[in-house]
Amino acid sequence: MGGSRTVAGMAQPPFHPPQAPAPQCYRHPGQVTYIHCQRCGRPICPQCSISAAVGFQCPECVSAGMRQTRQNQGPYGGERSKNPALTTLALIATNAAVWVLLMLTGGHAGWAFWRLALAPTGSCLASNDPGLYYPGAGADACAALGAQATWMPGVADGAPWQLLTSAFSHLEIPHLGFNMLALWFLGPQLERVIGRARFLALYLVSALTGSAAVMWLSDPGSTTLGASGAVFGLLGALLVLVLKVKGNAQSILLWLGLNVAYTFFGPGSISWQGHLGGLIGGAAIAAIIAYAPKQNRARIQWAGIAGLAVLTLVLIALRIPQLA
């Protein structure tokens, strides 16, 4: 009888799934290639591929890179520095020069220390020994003591420069050395990415936000000095930039964690207030720089940085009447 049937034991033909078509050069259709541009990922044939530092790039990506190089702009709009370490070296030299000044003028008991270190309120010093002071004596009471005492103003008493000069002042060599070593490792990396002007703004505004935290959270009669607030600002900025590009932030988080642990459990009197304020300020500035839209990017970045600086000054101004 007719009809179809399956014969038991007959081998079935192997099944071959359809294969994906071989990639073809986007500029020469039909030209099979297994080379891909390292920047955009498009397939390119040997005729179109241009050797780069790592792998190959397509002509369009090379042209875009050349335009960016001619414009001398970094990834976030800042002008590329020919020597990214120059600003860091200048900052290190300034800190070292201030340290020499403090040593030559008597260190903790010298006039330079009391004028450059951050003091939320002034101090009444004994004239015969500037290392001693009259606790609780205000400017009027200090003046009533005559030649026995000298009044050294703080920020709330008319010495606003201390908000920044304190970030360049150190007494102990280990304190200076650790901060400058951290600055040397962090500074050139950040300047290479965001440019010299933005890096300098990052450093100074981070120092300012660190001083603002000291004004609000520290003992009003204390004195604070050191570049640690600005250095923590650089750490916060680097963390934000690494997270922005979805990079590996483990080493930065480890370094930050060690510094935080040293801040709270290390020997001596360490200003956790300045560290915290600098960290928050640096992270905020980096976020402004990294997430500003490309259209009018420079204007938005500088407006945001200026706005943060003004906000910080307003917070300090609000604190002054409470201290005075």
Which residues have a catalytic role annotated?
Answer: 228, 275
238 CB-contact burial (10 Å; exposed 0-12 / middle 13-18 / buried 19+): buried
How far, in Å, are 96, 118, 131, 181 from residue 174 at the CA level?
12, 20, 22, 10
Report the DSSP beta bridge partners of residue 156. Answer: none
Q: Which of 305, 295, 71 is nearest to 200 (CA)?
A: 305
**214, 225 contact by CB (below 8 A):** no
| CB of 206 closer than 8 Å to CB of 232 | yes
C-alpha–C-alpha distance, residues 80 and 78, integer Å: 6
Cβ count near 16 (within 10 Å): 6
Q: How many CB atoms lie within 10 A of CB 152?
A: 22
Q: Which of 149, 230, 219, 141 is nearest to 187 (CA)?
A: 230
